[in-house]
A and B are shown apart, each in its own frame.
Chain A
Amino acid sequence: MNPGAAIHQARSRVVAALAARFRDLDLAEDAFAEAALAALTAWPAELPRDPAAWLWRVALRRALDAKRRAGTRAAAVHDAPPPEPTPEDLAMLSEEPIPDERLRLIFVCCHPAIAPEARAALTLKVVCGRSTPRLARAFLVGEGAMLQRITRAKAKIAGAGVPFEVPARAAWPERLGAVLATLEIAYAQAYEDAALAGDAADFAVEVLRLSGLLVELVPDDPEVLALAALVRFAEARRPARLDDHGAMVPLAEQDVRQWNAALIAEGARLLDRAAELKKTGPYQILAAIHGAHLSRRETGETPWLVIASLYDALMVARPGPVTAVNRAVAVGEASGAEAGLTALDAVRSDRRLEGWLPWQAARAWLCEKAGRAEEAAAAYDAALALGPAPAERLYLQRKRAALSTQ
């Protein structure tokens, strides 16, 4: 392993331990950054025996120094006693194994007191060490806006007194729900990024790692397992999502040989473990839908009837316009295009459906399938006018062009 990789691997654990000890995210991040910098110059060709322990010792010393400097400054004003760790304290602290406080840190970053879109960015920044410019690109906002989002979230954590604690079990349904929603937002962002070249895949890998870490920390929650399975199933299809021209390939038309078998197997194992816990939830249903699509790899056919009934269950567990549109497409495949269009007409949404891309795209496809060429053409045009991402635009243009030639 090279020094950079070793530092990256040690990061979440060391930053979490520092944050839990000092209850200060900025201090933890800064101290770790200083230790990482020191490591790059201090580590010779060979890494220390335990790079994480080395980084923990150095970062802890840097953090204590920073605290002392801040304490001295505060003392000059407020006459407060500076927190002076003795050399013995420091030596003793450094000998302790690094406490695993990553779950605490995740709960802090995903606290419901923080805006949902800021939670995802903050978690990827603090827990995964993603830089602000990288996050800005992934979340499609300017660097200034992203920096402000993260700064505000940190200020709220410090100012409002968000505790650096794993909440009591009784509060888990709400608090763990917020953590899972955060990971889902983070992955959705990485998934949207897939069509763009460059560092997007690397970003998704970080979400894979984070969901795996959550399974390690909370091994007995079926929804945690299911979310980890879900992102693996989705990520397994990445190589097949675009054709040679950069156009989107719909799930049911993807070349199964391009899917990542190892990730699929890993996801299936996680979903099996979730099923053994015998408590169903929305992420398990979602993962089961993805799993059903992936079963085409063995059977050669997409089990649309199964998928449609899973969407029925999802409409109960997690109703919403996105679920309803996806369900309508599945119904269209399982029971005929007209049935799908009827289901699509029943979609209820706060937004104007005509101005909503997923609804128009689904309508175009179902109309085409039903042989209503003119309505299909109008829906494809409407979808294209709504500014789809480049890969989807190419796909929709191709579908639209194929219609006109008939």
Chain B
Amino acid sequence: MQYMLLVYEPEDAWEGEAGQAAMQVVVAKHMALAGELAAQGVLLSGNGLQGTATATTVVMGEGGAQTLHDGPFAETREQLGGYYLIDVADLDAALAWGRKVPGVPGAKCEVRPVIAQ
């Protein structure tokens, strides 16, 4: 089954000098994890996203009307920071990988099955 590991992080963790240092550590761990996923042959794709300061949202309205919103769709403390798309046997295997996702305290990794084609 395919699962998406959605990584949510408190963005303010990256602020300041200490934040930059923390980010370097987390990024290095992500590189290692991506390497391990690839070596196990379960990684389909994965990317980190730029911060929500760069996000623009298209809002769908009634009758096909659309408006643009300058920012992420939801103003929450934790924001989607990246994802992995993996192919493993079952939820337990996906959760085992989810536990290996690095993050600062408060970060979350949501494990969602992909709709089978």
Give the Cβ gap from B85 to chain A, nearest Cβ, in Å: 15
Partner among A161, A167, A171 whose Cβ is within 8 Å of the Cβ of B1:
A161
Task: A129 to B10: give the CA distance in the assembly, Å.
Answer: 45
Give the Cβ gap from A161 to chain B, nearest Cβ, in Å: 4
> Is the CB of A159 closer than 8 A to any CB of chain B?
yes
> Is the CB of B113 closer than 8 A to any CB of chain A?
yes
Inter-chain pairs besides A159-B113, A161-B3, A161-B94, 5 sampled, C-beta below 8 Å: A113-B91, A160-B91, A163-B89, A165-B92, A171-B92
> Is the CB of A52 closer than 8 A to any CB of chain B?
no
Contact partners of A93 in chain B: CB under 8 A: none
Q: Chain A interface (Cβ within 8 Å of chain B)?
A: 111, 113, 159-163, 165, 167, 171
> Is the CB of B15 closer than 8 A to any CB of chain A?
no
Complex contact B113–A163 (CB within 8 A): no
Task: A400 to B93: give the CA distance in the assembly, Å.
Answer: 57
> Is the CB of B90 closer than 8 A to any CB of chain A?
yes
Task: A162 to B92: give the CA distance in the assembly, Å.
Answer: 7
For the complex, count residues of B whose C-beta is within 8 A of A.
10
Contact partners of A160 in chain B: CB under 8 A: 91, 113
Contact partners of B89 in chain A: CB under 8 A: 163
Contact partners of B94 in chain A: CB under 8 A: 161
Contact partners of A165 in chain B: CB under 8 A: 90, 92
Task: A167 to B92: give the CA distance in the assembly, Å.
Answer: 8
Contact partners of B93 in chain A: CB under 8 A: 163
A158: nearest residue on chain B (CB-CB)? B113
Task: A113 to B91: give the CA distance in the assembly, Å.
Answer: 9
A113: nearest residue on chain B (CB-CB)? B91
Complex contact B90–A162 (CB within 8 A): yes
12 contacting pairs across A/B (C-beta < 8 A): A113-B91, A113-B95, A159-B113, A160-B113, A161-B3, A161-B90, A161-B91, A162-B90, A162-B92, A163-B91, A165-B92, A171-B92
A157: nearest residue on chain B (CB-CB)? B91
Using a CB-CB cutoff of 8 Å, which residues 60-117 of chain B contact chain A? Answer: 89-95, 113
A167: nearest residue on chain B (CB-CB)? B92
B96: nearest residue on chain A (CB-CB)? A171
Give the Cβ gap from A179 to chain B, nearest Cβ, in Å: 15
Interface string of B38-62 (1 = CB under 8 A from A): 0000000000000000000000000
A162: nearest residue on chain B (CB-CB)? B91
Contact partners of B90 in chain A: CB under 8 A: 161-163, 165
Contact partners of A159 in chain B: CB under 8 A: 113
B1, B90, B94: which has the most chain A beta carbons within 10 Å? B90
A113, A161, A163, A167: which has the most chain B beta carbons within 10 Å? A161
Task: A232 to B92: give the CA distance in the assembly, Å.
Answer: 33
Give the Cβ gap from A80 to chain B, nearest Cβ, in Å: 12
Give the Cβ gap from A114 to chain B, nearest Cβ, in Å: 11
Contact partners of B92 in chain A: CB under 8 A: 162-163, 165, 167, 171
Task: A320 to B28: give the CA distance in the assembly, Å.
Answer: 39
B94: nearest residue on chain A (CB-CB)? A161
Give the Cβ gap from A279 to chain B, nearest Cβ, in Å: 25
B1: nearest residue on chain A (CB-CB)? A161
Task: A160 to B95: give the CA distance in the assembly, Å.
Answer: 11
Task: A171 to B92: give the CA distance in the assembly, Å.
Answer: 10
Contact partners of A161 in chain B: CB under 8 A: 1, 3, 90-91, 94, 113
B92: nearest residue on chain A (CB-CB)? A163
Task: A159 to B1: give the CA distance in the assembly, Å.
Answer: 10
A156: nearest residue on chain B (CB-CB)? B91
A111: nearest residue on chain B (CB-CB)? B91
Contact partners of B113 in chain A: CB under 8 A: 159-161
B3, B91, B93: which has the most chain A beta carbons within 10 Å? B91
Task: A163 to B95: give the CA distance in the assembly, Å.
Answer: 11
Contact partners of B91 in chain A: CB under 8 A: 111, 113, 160-163
B2: nearest residue on chain A (CB-CB)? A161
Contact partners of A111 in chain B: CB under 8 A: 91
Task: A273 to B49: give the CA distance in the assembly, Å.
Answer: 54
Give the Cβ gap from B1 to chain A, nearest Cβ, in Å: 4
B89: nearest residue on chain A (CB-CB)? A163
Contact partners of A163 in chain B: CB under 8 A: 89-93
Task: A162 to B3: give the CA distance in the assembly, Å.
Answer: 12
Give the Cβ gap from B107 to chain A, nearest Cβ, in Å: 19
B3: nearest residue on chain A (CB-CB)? A161
